[in-house]
Structure 1
């Protein structure tokens, strides 16, 4: 792509600006800036670049024909900015140019819009360029501005985390320059801890693809995978084949094989749409089966014996009530946060810990009885399970006696 030379004549320059302003392939932040004040702030920005020694033609080419346009969030969580990159050709060589544009293009003064700018001859080979971009991403540290349903989750077991822990910043930077916001979670080996519970909650909050770097023996990580699969049936789960040694190059190769890392796209108004169908259709996965888990469903009747900042204290009780189904309400974090936290504490203290399926609270005056249905998962011991044996084939069984309100369950 040649560098766009700016006309000397003001009328021709104005017509050129109007052409790019109405072109949908022009990056959205640039179109917004060109539409502001009849284009005068955009012209003032180019004039300011000339005063600072920044080539106006190079800046104009990046702003109007960037091949990468990524919305970035700052490290302190403040307002995001736009990162634009373009590959160009001038009279001497191919060049790469990039700049960081403030997000407040509609209000900021023209001289403050470009926060960072650089342009240099393109290094020999694509790998050298990617290394240079990775260094820049690690220094700031930048990451794409994405929603929770777009973020990719990587679950690291103890073995993978031991080999990759100090390389996580580099890994996140290398995938960030491809527009992928990677969330890396180190899964604790003990699933009865509060740290594991918080890891589970963060994993369930996301909605993008899930990558697992787990061995078959790391059951605490597979319990998180099972919870994700049950709550988000449409989330893509990719099992990464454990290599001899986990490293950043090996992991990047695995991500490319599974279509998580797309290639450079010439589209500037969307984030690499050509990779989305492959991600939905499913690339080749690890043929080895996930570890066999024996899952059983249990019920418990609980009563409140106290309360604290971490929720109610709930203990098993032999008490039962015969109140009508209208008196029972479903327990969620939004309508009964203390009861919900108390249930999570109760489940984490079980051996092995359980996962809540559903729970209800009797709201009849003076009652407060809690009914809980939960799942327990442990590694299957029998390598050749009896298909007629209850709860060994991996299917969930219902409690032997359902509570009186079960017929009205939503």
Structure 2
């Protein structure tokens, strides 16, 4: 397409986008009822001594933040959407948001509007923690900052980490109770994806004293001695003949060759299975429990049962209902049973993110559950209208890659010094 035609097309597209936005605002302004209440609670921290209101929390991470280059802002918007939906469905959890400013930026903290968006979008208590800048920033290195959740031992019922492009569809609080109310479930659990045995964008770890220090030491050791990722030894363990990893689609293997094995997904799998030796893995329609140990001292499969049975024996206490409430629609695995966990969230991987494509033209309260994009945009514009942020689509109407890219390239693993995680 010639440059002048491309410019004209972009101008028409932007005008159409803004006209649709104005229609949304009018709908929201004249809506007679609202389904959400907002009582913002937030704290800003650079340390770990935070006052908690619960024993469990959700965590998110956004890096490469620079107000001059606002490509990071859609991820903040998604976190706002996620906390809004969690609160709407009854969550009582705390929320931790890890933020790392871009090394090239003169800004040390997020602008006021960004903070307002994060802390005032729902009734949940939000803790914002800044990660020190690094001149070696990359998508690959940032993935390991997820394991900073292990510092927060005050959340002894667990922390559920979600990538900043994950949207929950229901109250996920029931997941924190699984290991205490269902004896079949381990303290740590991961969800297998279609191309990896552990989804690094959605997992639950129970922080314990000393765990973070061990993670930091392991990362440092492995990235010092193994600058080229070893597909046999992985992160320090060669999978034995009686052991295997398995994806949601049923693929099995013993070499560390699955997607992002050299990055967060491989490290997560190694940590929970071969370091902790205590993990429940949700694999398709089955639940597997791995623990210690067989006659050779190796991790072993202890038990397995159908995923549909998860949570059927959960209890209820005076503060939190641990009963799973399925979402209104199941989008994660089209055409299949809406099973627990898989059906409870959407992971907008790659370029499937709502903000990287045009918004639905028929967006109304009645159509918000027509698709993931409908729900995302409807929730986002409710937040926008309610907070009076005057946000417009013009900043990110053109599909733009995130500040640090879309995936952890293997070349990035060889750039810069070994991975160092400091408290």
| TM bin (shorter chain) | under 0.3
Return the index of the structure with the highest Cα Rg: 1
Higher RCO (CA < 8 A, seq sep 6+): 2
Normalising by structure 2, we get a TM-score of 0.22
Normalising by structure 1, we get a TM-score of 0.22
